[in-house]
Structure 1
């Protein structure tokens, strides 16, 4: 969206599993894209695979109809359902999307899009193959040399790669490299994991939901800080996302602790003019935040109080509607995350209702139905 600021902001619409035009998930998908089309402030929309439930041409046409009404850039990757026919011919032919893997730099962040399914034999035979792994390694090395953060987009956790050697290697590449965020589908439920260096985020399915209402996630990487929040379809605007400081649960380094002078930053999405954006710490007074030309964020500087625990940011639009986001930054005594198993859901944070994470793991690869 912006070539001037240094924050990446995108919307993640979970696995579609589209089957037929009059199905509920088709109308939900089209409604989500119509909501996103109202916004100014997103860099792109991401679809994480399992776009067509049976990988059929007529199902991809339903995906295409939604995308044709969207002016935002869209990045679409593959899922196991997209391989149900035994190839990805219908995926590429029906959607006209770029051949995976590929990379783009958006607002200073290197975004890497992978195909976990094409190199496999179909179904959940998730593989990357030698070419993609070498490509990924070269991309991460190049990004690190240029001081760029990376976001990796893939259908599932590296641990779900069928070949144990691939799973270990990819998890290690991600953990050691400049990857701030791995954005995924497949689980069918919202989940956030933090291995101490990288955040893994999975978004609730649009087409096969077993927990909570339909919606989409908004994610941001703001100077190395990851933020993520699920928005239910039909929730009124505006929508606030605090992008700095990091919530302690998503903190990835000592630099993410708060102390002394601290800059508070937030993005506000909506279709009406924002009349006011304010912050407060704990139960203190509300104080104004301001926005600058060519920067999507509202910001303010504050001398972070010793013992400060909770930061809230709220925004009012011209129509009188209001939204609020809350984080709990990492203070001096906060224990930063350490990994129980890199590249997997071993580091899942559990329930986080303010982020739309219920912690149920109701999906086909854990506690849910086998669709």
Structure 2
């Protein structure tokens, strides 16, 4: 298993202009071998190895990796992760801390000590521990030491001109101490953190507080809203993109990484968020068969061929765009002839962007987004679902 084991030491990969791309495997809640969540994990790893390995930067497990945090449950997980052919970053959730200890989490799973920071290209990735400073259950805490570390890391990234992504188990507002939650959320805003990638909710959800995108991915182990799968996230310059792939969706997978969808606009003065006249469309596409061609369409216009940038391995097209609101579609076709389409809704003015609550919670959720498998019902145990 290719895994970061650097503790609080920095691991740095040489700078490049390629988008940062990772896959998110939703809360597993593993209990016993060969149950549906275990088999889904095995399928996710098989697909990742076949289609994504060596083409994305890492995978992340966002906590609640097992249901009870026992060594036996971590052995199930470790045996599968040993097959994964890409770096994996693992953070703990409340279920991993049921015994009030993370010993098995570290010793059996080999998970890195947290907090941890990794620089990849132009982005600083910060991995946090919500549980060890608490007393168990949903008593989520960062603690003074981790908050100081976080501020130092964000300041360091800022002085180095790096964008930042934070990986945590839940929304800032889910921290048990309201004052700590406010301090954490203020840091995210002050340092313009691009995205907080999370688990915990059990359902797909995106929220936008006007500065930071919050991305939660459907649980793999306790699902109430739809089929199992995994999400893909990218930071391309100053744009965050996200999409969910169900396990039964055929490959290839296409993903527009720039410009920003109107729901995810956080830099309204950037032409990558609010373009005018012309824009540069960036996309990624993956298939074990190899990609034959990638095409782009602006609204109802004709499809145009995109070119492959050898440096970034992104498909690109510079094109004229209309004023107002319109859709950009990208279609990737692999060498077997199978195709996939991704789309974003783009606006050329910030006048209609919604007002934000900006409190680090799901109050700024973008709502249902059918193309992204976001149902919008918040059907999970932390809102409207069963009490698992």
Q: Same fold by TM-score, threshold 0.5 exceeded?
A: yes
CA contact (8 A) 2:297 2:304 kept: yes
| Aligned match of 1:140 | 154
**Residue 332 of structure 1: CA displacement?**
1.8
The unaligned stretches of length 5 or more in structure 1 are: none
Could you give the per-residue CA deviations for residues 9-55 of structure 1, whole angstroms, max 9, x where no partner exists? 00000000000112110010111011111124211000000011000
Q: Secondary structure at the match of 2:60?
A: strand
**Residue 261 of structure 1: CA displacement?**
2.5
CA contact (8 A) 1:278 1:289 kept: yes
| Aligned match of 1:9 | 21
| Aligned match of 2:307 | 290
* CA distance in structure 2 between the partners assigned to 1:79 and 1:307 by the alignment: 43
Q: Secondary structure at the match of 2:340?
A: strand
CA contact (8 A) 2:281 2:318 kept: yes
* CA distance in structure 2 between the partners assigned to 1:326 and 1:67 by the alignment: 32
| Aligned match of 2:133 | 119
1:248 and 2:262 correspond: yes
| Aligned match of 1:86 | 100
**Residue 70 of structure 1: CA displacement?**
0.8
1:26 aligned to 24, 27, 38, which one?
38
Alignment of 1:1-371 (within 5 A): 4-38=16-50, 39=52, 40-254=54-268, 255=270, 256-307=273-324, 309-332=326-349, 334-371=351-388
| Aligned match of 2:4 | none
Q: Secondary structure at the match of 2:75?
A: helix
Could you give the per-residue CA deviations for residues 69-108 of structure 1, whole angstroms, max 9, x where no partner exists? 0110000000000000111111111111210000001121
Give me the TM-score of the superposition, normalised by structure 2.
0.93
4+ runs deviating over 4 angstroms: none
| Aligned match of 2:5 | none
Q: How many residues align?
A: 371
Over the aligned positions, Cα root-mean-square deviation in angstroms equals 1.3
* CA distance in structure 1 between the partners assigned to 2:15 and 2:153 by the alignment: 21
Q: Secondary structure at the match of 2:76?
A: helix
Could you give the per-residue CA deviations for residues 97-148 of structure 1, whole angstroms, max 9, x where no partner exists? 2100000011211000000001111111100100000000111111111111
Cα distance change of structure 1 residues 329 and 2 upon mapping to structure 2, 3 Å threshold = farther
* CA distance in structure 2 between the partners assigned to 1:342 and 1:199 by the alignment: 12
* CA distance in structure 1 between the partners assigned to 2:313 and 2:69 by the alignment: 38
Range 350-359 or range 302-311, more displaced:
302-311
**Residue 273 of structure 1: CA displacement?**
1.5
* CA distance in structure 1 between the partners assigned to 2:74 and 2:247 by the alignment: 22
CA contact (8 A) 1:252 1:336 kept: no
CA contact (8 A) 1:194 1:337 kept: no
**Residue 333 of structure 1: CA displacement?**
5.3
Q: Secondary structure at the match of 1:310?
A: strand
The unaligned stretches of length 5 or more in structure 2 are: 1-12
**Residue 292 of structure 1: CA displacement?**
2.0
Give me the TM-score of the superposition, normalised by structure 1.
0.97
Q: Secondary structure at the match of 2:47?
A: helix
Could you give the per-residue CA deviations for residues 142-195 of structure 1, whole angstroms, max 9, x where no partner exists? 111111110100000010101111111001111221310000000000000000
**Residue 2 of structure 1: CA displacement?**
8.8
CA contact (8 A) 2:294 2:330 kept: yes
